[in-house]
Structure 1
Amino acid sequence: MHFWEVVFDGSIGSAFPLHSLSWRLQMKRLFCVFALLLLAPIYAISLNPSLNDDVLGLIVFKADIQDPNGKLVSWNEEDDTPCNWVGVKCNPRSNRVIELVLDDFSLSGRIRRGLLQLQFIQKLSLAKNNLTGSISLSLAQLENLRVIDLSENSLSGPIPGDFFQQCGSLRSISLANNKFSGQIPDSLSSCSTLAAINFSSNQFLGSLPPGIWSLLALRSLDLSNNLLDGEIPEGIEGLNNLRTINLGKNQFSGQIPDGIGGCLLLRSIDFSENSLSGDLPTSMQKLTLCTDLNLRKNSFVGEVPEWIGELKRLETLDLSENSFSGQVPTSIGQLQSLKVLNISMNAFTESLPESMINCKNLLALDISWNLLTGSLPSWVFELDLQKVLLSGNKVSGSMDSLFSSWMENLNQKLQVLDLSQNALSGEIPSAVGNFSGLLFLNLSRNSLIGNIPASIGESKALNILDLSENQLNGSIPSEIGGAVSLKELRLEKNSLAGNIPLSIENCSSLTSLILSQNNLTGQIPAAIAKLNYLQTADLSFNKLTGSLPKQLANLPGLISFNISHNQLEGDLPVGGFFNTISPSSVSGNPSLCGSVVNKTCRTVLPKPIVLNPNSSDSTPGTIPQNLGHKKIILSISALIAIGAAAVIVIGVIAITVLNLHVRASTSRSAAALTLSGGDDFSHSPTTDGNSGKLVMFSGDPDFSTGAHALLNKDCELGRGGFGAVYRTVLGDGRPVAIKKLTVSSLVKSQEDFEREVKKLGKIRHQNLVALEGYYWTSSLQLLIHEFVSGGSLYKHLHEGLGKNFLSWNERFNIILGTAKSLAYLHQMNIIHYNLKSSNILIDGSGEPKVSDFGLARLLPMLDRYVLSSKIQSALGYMAPEFACRTVKITEKCDVYGFGVLVLEVVTGKRPVEYMEDDVVVLCDMVRGALEEGRVEECVDRKLQGNFPAEEAIPVMKLGLICTSQVPSNRPDMGEVVNILELIRCPSEGQEELV
């Protein structure tokens, strides 16, 4: 059993069975069933058979069925009659079962012989369940049975050949949407009373039974979506009662039998998606009651006959994807009830007949992909059409005149307009924005000129706008941001110029943005990074300049981002999609750098700030007051002179250091800024072993206003296994958090330290605390992080931080965000090692940000005992393999810690809690509660029942799976993210997992 099945079916190994009855109860029921089967003749003599036969049959039927939702709990073998049981209906006079309707009960199992005891049943309906297996018994032999409905199950195998030999009074049978196979039995033709047959959506094969047209009572026949083949046999004209016939989605060949015109009561004909050919039989003109005619996707040829206009009740006419040719018959104008006309993908020529103005009820017109010419007739715009699809023809004319005639009869019902791939010319009129209900507008592949009208922004409902492959010029109007429902915007292959408008950020639902092959200039706006649903962006072959916004790396669903053949410069965003971006997507930008384009950037990170070695107002071991805002360019001779003087300077500095050390206890000079922890750090480096180096990864901030804060013990935010953290403020007013590492003796050499820190500095994820810089001396190392204002998760859970406790949605989002951050780290081959609630910070919007990731990489070797001694505060989160030298430490250690964290967030309890005379381990407590069926009691009492059990319980089970003692049994963090998303949105995939 896969671990995600455990989450949804409720079991973890053998310890947590999903459904369990006591052994005695199971044995009792099995004995009762067995006894009833053996003693049925005795009951028939000693008791009233009119009662016990039905009870017996239904109990035997129930014994073969699984009922996960307890819908059949009222079925009690102790009852004398089943007439009060759920789904059972009895004849009030005889108390015999006449109906059994168990639709959509989520039942599973097999249909066995118990139902044959119901001798007076008239209706049997088990539709929309999960029943499996084949049908080995002939239900049709029940002489009173009129209706059988087994549709929408998973029944399979062939239908027994004798299934229909004794049909009794069967009137309707539906086996639709199952997995039946083999041929339809010839015995079906013996059921002379059948009025409705539905065998659709199965795997039946072969030809139609030869006697099927002998079922004279037949009113409805649906054999669609099977594998039936051969020709449709003659003789259909005898079915005088036939109203509906659906043979679509099969492999029938040949012609429609001419006798079909004899079925005068036919209302609906569907022969779509077969291999039928030839002309339409003339007898079909007799079918004057027909409302729906679907011949889509066949091989019919020739002209559509004029007699089509005789079918005056037609509401739907679909002749698409055939080989019809010639002109569209003028008689279609007689079809005044017509609502849907689809003649697309044929070879119709000339133009649409003017007579179609009489089709007053027409709602959808699809004439795309034909050979139509001329201009589009004005009647198209005078009808209340909802859909007009005309793409792929040779229609010409000016868009101005087209819309002017349309504006005289403004159609606010229009939802879809596709005039693409024609020969339309002129400008797009501003009137296009007046169609308030328009969802889809495609004018691509024409010869349109001029500007994109600003009125397009008034189309608030517009989902898709495609104006590509025209000759449009001017700029993209800023009003485009008014089309707030846009999901797809295609403007490629035009002559558009100017900037990409910042207002594009208002189109928050945008998934596809295609602007390639234009003349766009300026920078790529950071506003694009706010399009959280964006999947595909193509800005290639333009004249865009500047660097890429770093925020683009935060787009969660990005699949493709093509910026090739522009004039962009600098390095690419770090993280997310851009870690795996294709080289072809960035080619043709000579000034872009990075590994993707195989060109080294001038600096790995933007302009690192290095302390000025010539500063004289510093004390070794302190942060500089100035961070080198002034650049000093020295000649070679000057450098030689400085080098020669360095020896003297070193001696002077050494003496100065000793003097300052002596004076430290009495002097509190503002020039000597000392950490509360006792380590000093300088304003500028010297050339001795204690010289400092400060590097910031973004910008050139001034620490002069923030360094003094480190003197104050009140600025300490907390202490952990790797060091203490302080808060300070940069000169630009931006707060940062500074971690003073307390593992200096274990830290790698300066070269290795800087290499590892710079790698960590490139990690960017919305749920990770960003590393913004570092400070190095041989005895002191500082890491500079972004400051997260909301406090730690630990304080929110256990110290009542803030007035309000965390709601369930907030807790779930914290769990999901943390999972995503770990999955990202593991993708970057980084193990956190120190995951715990105090290392998860909450920002102002409630998003979790994981800190302290990858710090173990700074140590010379990953010794688990050294490491564990440094992170003793993570007690309860540490995977058991830390205690065993022979077990490899992998990402599964983080998965274990994450599992503990999940249980901590849901329960509100610490991983290990010490009682007066006991120690409670959280994992063991929740696991025990799950075994005893009281896992809901573990949810934090602060939630007071305000949580969805269908989410909380699977989340706790997932936490237990992540804390498996065996690393290989724990899921990957990517799988954990998928499961959490399924728990939150089960409709997107839970059915496949159950």
Structure 2
Amino acid sequence: MACLQRCFCINESSLQLNDDVLGLIAFKSELHDPSSALNLWTEDDSSPCSWQHVQCHPVTGRVTQLSLDGLGLSGKIGKGLDKLQSLQVLSLSRNNFSGSISPDISLIPSLSILNLSLNSLSSRIPIELASVVSLRFLDLSENSLSGPIPDSLFENLSSLRFVSFASNFLEGPIPSSLSKCSSLGGLNLSNNHLSGNPSFVNGFWSLTRLRILDLSHNAFSGSVPDGVSALQNLKELQLQGNHFSGSLPSDIGFCNHLSRLDFSDNLLTGALPNSLQRLDFLSFLKLSNNMMIGDFPYWIGNMSNLEYLDLAGNAITGYLLASIGGLKLLNHLILSHNQLTGELPASLSYCSRLFVLRLRGNGFNGSIPQSLFNLGLSEIDLSQNGFHGSIPPGSSKLFYSLQTLDLSNNKLTGDIPAEIGLFSNLRYLNLSWNNLHSRLPPQLGQFQNMTVIDLRNNAIYGLIPEDLCDFNSLSILQLDGNSLIGPITEDIGNCTSLSLLSLSHNYLNGSIPKSISNLKKLEILKLEYNYLSGEIPQELGRLDNLLAVNVSYNRLIGRLPMGGIFQNLDQSALQGNLGICSPLLKGPCKMNAPKPLVLNPFVYNIPMNSNNSVSDPIQHHRFLSVSTIIVMVAVALIVIGVLVVSLLNASTHRSLAFVDTAMESKCSSSQRSGSSATGRFSFFGSRSSSELVNNAESLLNKATEIGHGVFGTVYKASLGDEGRMVAIRKLATSNMLQSPDDFDREVRILGKASHPNLITLKGYYWSPQFQLLMTDYAPNGSLHSRLHERSPSTPPLSWANRFKIALGTAKGLAYLHQSFRPPIIHYNIKPSNILLDEKHNPKISDFGLARLLTKLDEHVKTSRFQSALGYVAPELACQSLRVNEKCDLYGYGMMILELVTGRRPVEYGEDDVMILSDHVRVLLEQGNACDCVDPSMTEYPEEEVLPVLKLGLVCTSQIPSSRPSMAEVVQILQVIKTPVPQRMEMF
């Protein structure tokens, strides 16, 4: 009998072990394993306990832990895991799993830890997880999950200790069942679209074991009620980036263990509650970008553990009191853009660990304390205040630590201290808009990492140093509005990283150096209001990146460079010179010749700086020799040629206002940024963060993947201190342009596309290893998700919004087709590339990316357009047909059919395949067109819906020439939308 029992136990154990093996093999079969991490998993083994990444119970031999973190696995989390009936830990984070979360996971009764974070999982959170009552740790963060959190999800999960759904696309309120999780210690729901008023907060106050609560970057609104003091164990409270209003809870200071408190970027009002001073362990306090008022609290200096204090962007008044010196551990003090006044207390130097000091945009006055420059600060920003006196010399400690110095827009006088040349790590120097009377320090060219020098509008005099760019890292040089004299040094051509060069409103003379043509990255050149003479070097026409030039009010003569932007300059960028040859200017045109014709300089009243005057007497001679007549005829012929070429190319004029705007944008984007050794960033009129500019790879590491497209993977990321969200596409490198100049040229063309129905391209990053495109982030998702992945709580699109989407998309495509030569063809129009803003206005994304391909025909033949099944024009598969804008018409036609019907372009049934265009055509011919309208639309005008359906069929014609142009589509839609009586009058 004992033998029989022993044999029975052995057979039962073998059966159980086989279940584990079979379950893991079935799970593996659904995966793509690029690094062969699971190669040793084989069904021939009787037990999986020796397999890598698998742990078993020492007694029963059953699998208890499966940890596959960071192995690069992709595919779907399929069946098989439910066989692992003793599994306690399932961790699959930092992979590329896609699809939905399998409900079969809920069939594992002993599961206590489930970590699926940092993948590409989509769809909704399965309600079946509510049955895993043993669950203690649940992390689904940084995926693409959408829809509401199931209301009853937490009903039976009283054992939960930690929950994170951060960085998804979840919406709706927080379920009330969460209050049942009485053991919860950490909750992170940040970076979603969750909303509602804070009535749920009372439920949180009952979670007395809560240590971490992060609801940041959602859409919560209303006031935060008192009662937070019930959370006696709370250490971190982060509610930033919402729409909370009212005052801070008055009892916030009774959370005795609180170490991190962040309510920034909300709508809070009132003063800081006095109870805050009770928080003895608080090290991080950020309340920036609210509407808080009241005096700067006197008790702030008693918070001895405070390391980070940010109250910027409020309306706080009063003085910075001497008690601030009591914050011995403080490393960040950020009080910018408030209404603080008075002098800086000398006791500020007692904050010996201070690393960042930002007091920009207040009313501080007095002199800058010398003791402040004895600290090891990395960033000093005292700009836009009323400081006077001289700039203190630095100390040896500051020489090595300082990276950013901004003292602009004050009343500083005296010299630029010689010690400034000792700041070996300085990257950003801005002393503009002061009254500094000094020569340019000769050490300016010795900064190895300097990217921005801005000394505008001072009283700086003398020559421009010849060694200004010895280390070739300088991106922005602004010296305008000073009293500089002498020629522009030829060595300026060594500044090959320059994108902005502004030397206007000085006393510079001599010719414009040819070496400027070496500045291949130069985008803005401002030389107006000087004494520059001679011709503009023809070599400057080769600067392909040059976007704005101003050489007005100098003594320049001769023809303009033939290439680049010079043929399209506005009159305001050229006027006030002696004889520049341009059809935009009136007056004589003077050319360099062996016996030059000398013009009367007093024909022009050349305005200079207030201290400048034109006093050079120039003789006015007339040469009537035969050689002079020949020269005159030759000059006339050349001028006529220049006029003809200029008239043919003067289609695009840039105004002087653009120069100033671009200059400020460029200055902003490069501020506090270092140059990359392996790649380069370029921004189109947007402000970048130093973190982004300095390290593109770290940006991708913290970014969240939100989708895949034809041309690469799309991420969302937060930039800068303000946490602005952008979308980042990491381009697939196959067949992409590998030349940085070619890539730059093509992307800049896309960057010029500006239309209300196009997603804005913000900039790009290029390196030999990878390329990134940065665009606006659309938090409301795509038309595809709104049509086919809509949650039950989200109302369906109304006909008015559907028509708005159809018309707006047509306008955006018409702009791409008509405003560029050659036209920008999208090639991949489909609902997933139509993004929606909060008012359901469409924004076309991914336009023009085919321009970045070296060989489009080879690209089209690949399988990359498989994801656009049903939207791809048939001619793209036929090399004998000319590919043009009509390709977009086909995808657009299919898109509006899908918009009206709510059905996909191709649907697979059990026995047949439904082609949407054929389906609509048959119903129209039978007179049953209304049968194909999306049933979720309860009301719609037939007089608009039927013509739109017919338009969709015309656009999807198999013959490209039978399709209308996109401009004609816009006109047709506008006629359809016109009220019937008016429409009849039109015909």
Output the amino acid matched with 1:531.
L
Which residue matches 2:94?
A: 104
- Taking the aligned partners of 2:55 and 2:579, their CA distance within structure 1 comes to 80
8 Å CA contact 1:53–1:118 kept in 2: the answer is: no
Q: Does 1:633 align with 2:623?
A: no
Q: Structure 1 residue 46: deviation in Å?
A: 9.4
Deviation at 1:578, TM superposition (A): 3.1
Q: 1:88 to 1:297 in 2, by over 3 A?
A: farther
2:556 maps to what in 1?
Answer: 568
The 8 Å contact of residues 399 and 424 in structure 2, kept in 1 or not, is answered as no
Q: In 2, distance between residues paired with 1:545 and 1:592?
A: 11
Aligned counterpart for 2:375 among listed residues 355, 380, 383: 383
Identity %: 37
Contact 2:248-2:268 at 8 Å conserved across structures = yes
3-state secondary structure, aligned to 1:362: coil
Deviation track 1:876-903 (CA, whole Å, cap 9, x = no partner) reads xxxxxxxxxxxxxx989xxxxxxxxx9x
Change over 3 Å in CA distance of 1:600–1:474 after alignment to 2: closer
Aligned 1:179-218 pairs, distance under 5 A: 179-208=169-198, 209=200, 210-218=202-210
Say if 1:219 and 1:821 are closer, same or farther in 2 by CA, change over 3 A.
Answer: closer
Relative to structure 1, the CA distance from residue 507 to residue 824 in structure 2 (aligned partners, 3 Å threshold; closer, same or farther) is: closer
User: What are the within-5 Å matches in structure 2 for residues 334-413 of structure 1?
Assistant: 334-399=326-391, 402-403=392-393, 406-407=394-395, 411-413=399-401
Alignment-mate amino acid for residue 154 of structure 1: S
1:457 corresponds, among 445, 467, 481, to 445
Question: Following TM superposition, by how much is the alpha carbon of 1:429 offset from its aligned partner in structure 2, in angstroms?
Answer: 2.6
What is the rounded CA distance, in whole Å, between the counterparts of 2:222 and 2:748 in structure 1? 56
Return the alpha-carbon distance in structure 2 between the equivalents of residues 963 and 606 of structure 1: 59
Q: Which residue of 2 aligns with 1:480?
A: 468
Over 3 Å counting, the alpha-carbon distance change for 1:407 and 1:175 in structure 2 is closer
Name the residue aligned to 1:175: 165
Whole-Å separation in 1 of the counterparts to 2:345 and 2:878: 72
Residues in 1 aligned to 2:286 and 2:155: alpha-carbon distance in whole angstroms:
34
- Deviation at 1:98? 2.1
CA RMSD of aligned residues (A): 4.9
Corresponding residue number in structure 1 for 2:714? none
- State the AA in 1 paired with 2:141: S
1:612 match: none
Superposed counterparts of 1:6-25, under 5 Å: none
Deviation at 1:283, TM superposition (A): 1.7
Aligned-pair CA distance for 1:56: 8.0
Equivalent positions of 1:538-687 (< 5 A) are 538-595=526-583, 597=585, 633=626
Task: Work out the CA distance in 2 between the residues paired with 1:600 and 1:964.
Answer: 56
Match of 1:239 in 2: 231
- What secondary structure, in the 3-state scheme, does the structure 2 residue paired with 1:302 have? coil
Tell me the CA shift for residue 238 of structure 1. Answer: 1.5
Kindly indicate whether the alpha-carbon contact (under 8 Å) linking 1:462 and 1:485 is maintained by their aligned counterparts in 2: yes
Q: Is the 8 A contact 1:532 1:557 kept in 2?
A: yes
| One of 396, 410, 421 as aligned partner of 1:433 | 421
Q: CA deviation at 1:296?
A: 0.8
How many angstroms does 1:214 deviate by?
0.9
Which letter maps to 1:175? F
**Partner AA of 1:633 in structure 2:** V
| Alpha-carbon distance, 1:437 to partner | 1.6
Partner residue of 1:417? 405
1:648-686 CA distances to partner (integer Å, 9 max, x unpaired)? xxxxxxxxxxxxxxxxxxxxxxxxxxxxxxxxxxxxxxx
CA distance in 1, matches of 2:459, 2:740: 47
For the residues of structure 2 that align with 1:308 and 1:516, how far apart are their CA atoms? 46
Equivalent position SS for 1:496: strand
- What is residue 618 of structure 2 aligned with on the other side? none
Distance 1:121 1:507, change over 3 A: same
Deviation at 1:163, TM superposition (A): 1.1
Structure 1 position 965 matched with structure 2 position 880: yes
Structure 1: where are the runs of 5+ without partners?
Answer: 1-44, 608-630, 639-693, 699-750, 761-808, 826-889, 893-901, 907-922, 932-959, 973-994
Quote how far apart the aligned CAs of 1:582 are: 3.7
Aligned mates of 1:187, 1:56 — CA distance in 2? 37
TM-score by length of structure 2 reads: 0.57
CA contact (8 A) 1:61 1:111 kept: no
Q: Secondary structure in 2 aligned to 1:303?
A: coil
One-letter code of the match for 2:311? L
Residue identity opposite 2:431 in structure 1: L
Give how far 1:435 is off: 1.4
For structure 2, list consecutive stretches of 5 or more residues without a partner in the other structure.
Answer: 1-10, 64-85, 595-623, 650-732, 750-820, 824-850, 864-874, 888-987
**The 10-residue stretch of structure 1 (477-486 or 58-67) with the greater mean CA deviation from structure 2:** 58-67
For each residue in 1:792-828, what CA deviation from the matched residue of structure 2 results, as whole angstroms up to 9, or x when unmatched? xxxxxxxxxxxxxxxxx9x999988899999999xxx
Alpha-carbon distance, 1:58 to partner: 7.0
| Shift, 1:466, TM fit | 0.9
- SS of the residue corresponding to residue 411 of structure 1 reads helix
The one-letter code sitting in structure 2 at the alignment partner of 1:533 is K
Q: In structure 2, give the amino acid aligned to 1:556.
A: D
Are the structure 2 counterparts of residues 590 and 447 from structure 1 closer, same or farther at C-alpha, using a change threshold of 3 Å? same
CA contact (8 A) 1:88 1:101 kept: no
What is residue 120 of structure 2 aligned with on the other side? 130
Spell out the pairing of 1:310-321 with structure 2 (5 A cutoff): 310-321=302-313
Cα distance, 1:566 vs. partner? 2.2
Cα deviation for residue 143 of structure 1 reads 2.0
Question: CA separation in 1, counterparts of 2:353 and 2:51?
Answer: 49
Deviations 1:680-713 (A, max 9, x none): xxxxxxxxxxxxxx99x99xxxxxxxxxxxxxxx
* CA distance in 2 between partners of 1:546 and 1:249 (Å): 56
Q: What is the rounded CA distance, in whole Å, between the counterparts of 2:743 and 2:447 in structure 1?
A: 39
Shift in Å at residue 519 of structure 1?
A: 2.0
In the aligned structure 2, how far is the partner of 1:814 from the partner of 1:180? Answer: 38
Call closer, same or farther: CA 1:496–1:632 in 2, change over 3 Å: closer
* Structure 1 partner of 2:264: 272
Deviation readout 1:524-578 (Å, 9 max, x if unpaired): 1111111122122211222221111122122232222222232222222122333
Amino acid corresponding to residue 98 of structure 2 in structure 1: S
Alpha-carbon displacement from aligned partner over 1:311-343 (angstroms, at most 9, x marks no partner) = 111111111111111111222111111111111
Q: Summarize the Cα distance change of 1:431–1:963 in structure 2 as closer, same or farther, 3 Å threshold.
A: farther
What secondary structure, in the 3-state scheme, does the structure 2 residue paired with 1:356 have?
Answer: helix
Secondary structure in 1 matching 2:472: coil
Equivalent residue, structure 1, for 2:280: 288
CA distance in structure 1 between the partners assigned to 2:245 and 2:747 by the alignment: 54
1:180 is paired with a residue whose SS is strand
Whether the 8 Å contact between 1:961 and 1:970 is mirrored in structure 2 is no
**Superposition pairs of residues 764-803 of structure 1, within 5 angstroms:** none
Change (3 A) 1:819 1:100: closer
Structure 2 CA distance for aligned equivalents of residues 153 and 544 of structure 1: 59
TM-score normalised according to structure 1 size: 0.56
CA contact (8 A) 2:376 2:398 kept: no
**8 Å Cα contact 2:253/2:275 also seen in 1:** yes
Output the amino acid matched with 2:441.
P
| Cα distance, 1:441–1:88 mapped onto 2, change above 3 Å | same
Post-superposition shift, 1:967?
A: 2.0
Alpha carbons of structure 1 residues 433 and 391: separation in structure 2 relative to 1, 3 Å: same
**One-letter amino acid matched to 2:553:** H
CA change 1:409–1:64 in 2 (3 A) is: closer
Task: Give the distance between the partners of 2:113 and 2:203, measured in 1 at CA.
Answer: 26
Q: 1:439 to 1:599 in 2, by over 3 A?
A: same
- Residues 592-626 of structure 1, C-alpha deviation per residue, up to 9 Å, x if partnerless? 223565899789x999xxxxxxxxxxxxxxxxxxx
3-state SS in 1 of match to 2:221: strand
Q: What is the alpha-carbon distance in structure 2 between the residues aligned to residue 50 and residue 368 of structure 1?
A: 68
Give the superposition deviation at 1:586. Answer: 2.7
- Read off the aligned partner of 1:360 and give its amino acid letter: S
Distance 2:748 2:420 in 1: 45
Give 1:710-749 correspondences, 5 Å limit: none
Aligned mate of 1:493, from 478, 481, 501: 481
